[in-house]
Structure 1
Amino acid sequence: MRLLLLALLPLALAKSVLVTFPEGTPDDVIRESKESLEKAGGTITHTFNLIKGYSAEAPDVAIQQVSPQSGPYKAAVEDDSPVSIA
């Protein structure tokens, strides 16, 4: 029972995020970002085609892994939330 709870804990602490990169970001940078997020316990839920980026479910520790700390290709990470027209 404890093992099951420990296995499910990261999922319970996960949040939905959108990760986008500046125009011109090489595909390798985005691929490495996705791999880092998955290795840290996140799950990619969608890869965007019109913009450079993806959506994911991930705990905070995984989200911190998605972007290089310096350089021209820094990712923008935002909480994913419903959008409506008022």
Structure 2
Amino acid sequence: MPLYNVTLKQDSPPRELEKAKDQAREKGGTIKHEYSLIKGFTVEYPEDHVDTLQSSDHIHVEADGNVTTQ
């Protein structure tokens, strides 16, 4: 299963992040890492269910991948 980074949008209540974690687990996802500096987590999640996570107005979802500067 692919990995996705899920972060809480600015001005969203913290409980929305907990809801996203619960929703990810309910749909077969596994939380791989929780971040402390930013409000978010990385989840291994079925690709065909990612629309469920992306439907929230309070969180941002993007596929995990390599980041380069050049």
TM-score normalized by structure 1?
A: 0.67
Measured in 2, the distance between the counterparts of 1:77 and 1:22 equals 10
Q: How many residues align?
A: 70
Read off the aligned partner of 1:59 and give its amino acid letter: P
Read off the aligned partner of 2:18 and give its amino acid letter: R
Aligned counterpart, 1:57: 44
Read off the aligned partner of 2:64 and give its amino acid letter: D
**2:12 maps to which of 25, 39, 44:** 25
Answer yes or no: is the 8 Å Cα contact 1:25–1:52 preserved in 2: no
When the two chains are superposed, the root-mean-square deviation of aligned CA atoms in Å is 1.8
Q: Which has the larger radius of gyration?
A: 1
Work out the percentage of aligned pairs sharing the same amino acid. 27
Aligned counterpart, 1:34: 21
Aligned counterpart, 1:83: 67
TM-score normalized by structure 2?
A: 0.79
Higher RCO structure, 1 or 2 (CA under 8 Å, sep 6+): 2
Q: Structure 2 unaligned segments of length 5 or more: list them.
A: none
Q: Structure 1 unaligned segments of length 5 or more: list them.
A: 1-13
Residue 28 of structure 1, CA deviation: 1.1
Q: Which has the higher strand share?
A: 2
